[in-house]
Structure 1
Amino acid sequence: MQGSLNEIDIRSILQLIELGQRTGELMVEAYSSSQTTMEMERHPIRLTGQCWLVFSWNGRIIYAGQSEGSLQRLRDYLRRYQAETVLSELEVPSITSVNAPEYGYLWVLLENQVITPNIARNIIHCMVQETLFDLLSLHQGAFIFEMGSGLAPQLTTLEISPLLADIFKQVQEWKKFHPHITSPNQCPLITDRSKLQKTVRPKVFESLNHWADGQTSIRQISRYLHRDIVTVAKAIYPFVQQGLVQLLALHPENIFNEPETFTDRNRTPRIVCIDDDLVIRESVEIILREQGYEATAIGNPLKALSLVFQLKPDLILCDIAMPELNGYEICAMLRNSTAFRQTPIVMLTGIDGFIDRLKARMVRATNYLTKPFGDAELLTLVETYIGPGKTIDASVNTDLEDEFMTELETL
């Protein structure tokens, strides 16, 4: 099941999953709000990077979240239980899907007795509600549902219909706050502290003074206080109307394709290209080596897996359509390994289509490059994730030129 949200809305998609008692993974990606319908039809892969995942089992929801893999949302929920700092001390979970690191860490927290099963189930319920709120507010985008074995082990399963009914009411309530409040990611900030203090009760002022710092979003406040975002928005709405509180924009939490930390500049950045097309392999090697990168191209996808672990590249380019083992399978296998969980993996494809891009998202590929591509396209993308190649020292160049000139004189 796949298509556009112009054809079917999220509510109907989830109802179909429930009615069909489907087990698998729903992925939804939003179109840019600046795109017109005509532009979307012409360029279906130009998406915003905002992407959500809903995992189901027998028509019930197991877990839902964004695909970018950040643990910030989980930290926010753990703050209520004074456990947010524990995450950095835990080992990377081995039981989780590559698309659900939060879920895996919840299990590790349980195993280490940091939280109880009831707390874990409560956090998942809140995460699912939060995700469904975003999805039911979405009207333009693409989706794909892939049948599978389901996310395991399961902490809880949630019935879809009651959830949809509750969240739909929240979305309708949220619309009433427009145009004063437009996004859960907006951060309230007190504009006139003395006037506000005279206007409200001391306890209300104390609460607003604590939370309305211009750095904490409505969504984060709702997580910290264990309240839905409509309740939080309703509480600050009168003060926003009166101009006592203003709302500052905050970048969405789900910044997909955020550049990784550049590699150590004392060594040459290493790149592996996996592609069964000889022309592509040779072209990529030439382009990258000329710019100071160490490039290795591999044509056999089966051999590539073992070689990648030996080479330990800083970035991997991987063709999607290959015999024996396709790019999605390779990416999924690498993401299941701790060694390559954070390594940038760029999928190469000759097909312009949002379904390919969504599938790349589902295996947590970092980016997507359409063939044929030019030198500038490839280098811009590579530099975004691992920085520029290692350039030859200017003095070395001079020595080489002198040697060459001396040799010419002897001819």
Structure 2
Amino acid sequence: MQGKLSEIDIRSILQLLELGQRTGELFVEAYPMQLGNSALDRASKLHEGQFWFVFVFNGQIVYAANADTSLSRLTDYLRRYDAEANLRSLTVPSIAAINAPEYGYLWALMENRSLSPAQGRSIIQSMVHETLFDLLSLHQGAFIFESGPPLSPQLTTLETAPLVAKIMKQVQEWKQLHPQIQSPAQCPVIADRVTLQATLSERTFQTLDRYADGKTSIRQFARYLNRDIVIVARAIYPYVQKGIIHLTHAFPDESNALTGVKSRPREFGLWQEARIPRIVCIDDGAAIRETVESILNQHGYEATGIGNPLKALGLVFQLKPDLILCDIAMPDLDGYEVCAMLRKSTAFRQIPIVMLTGKDGFIDRVRAKMVGATDYLTKPFGEGELLMLVEKYVGSGDPQRRQTESFLADSLADELESDKTNATSSPSAPFG
């Protein structure tokens, strides 16, 4: 099941999944909205290009999240129980490679008794509420539901209909706060401390003073205080109206909360990132996956092999690879179908996708190009061939060479920007 949100909304999709007692994973991608109001444009920009996942078991919701892999949301929720420090001491749990990383780490915390099952259920319920709040606010986007085995292990299931009804009411109440408050990602900052302190009790003022720093979002307020986000927004609404509290937009980067690695944007068609190049290999053959992983990891890349093409469609949004290697002959979905589905997403329109296959016929190559494949590598291939192809699209795996390439890319970007500025400021050349 797949389609666009202009044809069927999220509420109806969830109701259909519940009625059909479906089990699997719902993926949703947000499209940017074309709005005339500049303030609303900025609020809409926060959702542009984002992805969400909803795991369903017999029509009930098990877990839901966006595609952020930084674990920042989990860290925020752990503050309720003074358990955020325990997250840093964890080794990557095996479940994190199969399911959403956040879910895997949450289970690991319960297994080592940093959290009780009741606390874990409370966090998952809050995560589901938060994710559905965003989804039920969407109007532009696309979705695909993939039937499959249930998310495992399961800690809780939530009945879909009453949950959706409750959150729809939240969304309607939230809209009443427009235009003063537009997005849960807006960050309050105190503009008039004297007036605010005179108006509030000392305890309330200290709470606001602690978090209203222009960096902590309304959503984070709700997480830290374990409160409904609409209640938090309503509490600050009168002070926003009077100009005592201002709201800023802090657009999130893609920093990793555990490693501290911060990614950088694409500029001038060059992939400029401080992190290790990440490659995903989708192939149902274990030997090929293990060979690709071994070669690339030895040469400084971060390689992940995925054997199930249906599962791969969800994991690639979480892994955010710089290059995808994809076999053609696979069960359930072949490589052509996987490539075509990924190319429908704005996040993967520019990511290199290279077909790995034993076929080398002209028709196969043409079909690969038609579905959007970037290149084609015939099996069996040698180590040199693989490394040459990967380096062609994502650069070297050697850290020193990456640093040099990044420096050169920055220098080129500066030169191009300088040329553009000079061209704008200089008189027009004759003949146009």
- TM norm structure 2: 0.67
Residues 107-163 of structure 1: per-residue CA shift (max 9 Å, x gap): 111111111111100110000000000000000000000001110111000000110
Q: CA deviation at 1:335?
A: 11
Give deviations 1:54-109, integer Å, cap 9, x for gaps: 00100100000012322110110010100011111012111346341111111111
CA distance in 1, matches of 2:91, 2:30: 33
Question: What aligned pairs does 1:2-401 form with structure 2 within 5 A after superposition?
Answer: 2-34=2-34, 48-96=48-96, 98-252=98-252, 258=263, 261-263=274-276, 303-311=287-295, 312=297, 313-315=299-301, 344-346=322-324, 355-357=341-343, 367=351, 370-372=372-374, 382=394
- Distance 1:115-1:329 versus aligned 2 partners, 3 A rule: closer
What's the CA shift for 1:215? 1.2
Structure possessing the higher relative contact order (Cα contacts under 8 Å, 6 or more residues apart): 1
Residue type of the alignment partner of 1:21? Q
CA distance in 2, matches of 1:186, 1:384: 39
2:143 alignment partner, SS class = strand
CA separation of 1:360 and 1:241: change in aligned 2, threshold 3 A: closer
In 2, the alpha carbon distance for the partners of 1:367 and 1:347 equals 11
Question: 2:188 touches 2:213 (CA, 8 Å); kept in 1?
Answer: yes
Larger-gyration structure (1/2): 1
Distance (Å, rounded) in 2 between the aligned partners of 1:76 and 1:175:
25
State the TM-score, normalized to the length of structure 1. 0.70
Alpha-carbon offset, residue 350 of structure 1: 7.6
Task: Tell me which amino acid in the other structure corresponds to 1:219.
Answer: R
**1:276-297 per-position Cα deviation (integer Å, ceiling 9, x unaligned):** xxxxxxxxxxxxxxxxxxxxxx
Deviation for aligned residue 1:210: 1.8
| Structure 2 residue matching 1:22: 3-state secondary structure | coil
Alpha-carbon contact 1:347-1:367 (below 8 Å) kept:
no
Q: Is the 8 A contact 1:121 1:155 kept in 2?
A: yes
Change (3 A) 1:360 1:197: closer
Equivalent position amino acid for 2:151 in 1: L
Structure 2 residue aligned with 1:285:
none
Identity of aligned residues (%): 47
What is the deviation of 1:382? 2.5
Q: What is the DSSP-based 3-state SS (H/G/I as helix, E as strand, rest coil) of the residue aligned with 2:130?
A: helix
Match of 2:48, SS? strand
Distance 1:18 1:154, change over 3 A: same
Contact map agreement 1:262 1:386 (CA 8 A) in 2: no
Q: Are the aligned partners of 2:29 and 2:51 in contact in 1 as well (CA < 8 Å)?
A: yes
Q: For structure 2, which runs of at least 5 residues remain unmatched after alignment? A: 37-46, 257-261, 265-272, 327-334, 354-371, 376-389, 406-432
Distance 2:215 2:107 in 1: 30
Partners of 2:291 and 2:28 lie apart in 1 by 34
Q: How many residues align?
A: 339
SS at match of 1:346: strand
Within 1, Cα distance between the matches of 2:90 and 2:53? 24
| Contact 2:279-2:323 at 8 Å conserved across structures | no
What is the root-mean-square deviation of aligned Cα atoms in Å? 4.2
Q: Is the 8 A contact 1:189 1:213 kept in 2?
A: yes
CA contact (8 A) 2:190 2:209 kept: yes
Distance 1:334 1:342, change over 3 A: closer
Q: CA deviation at 1:4?
A: 0.4
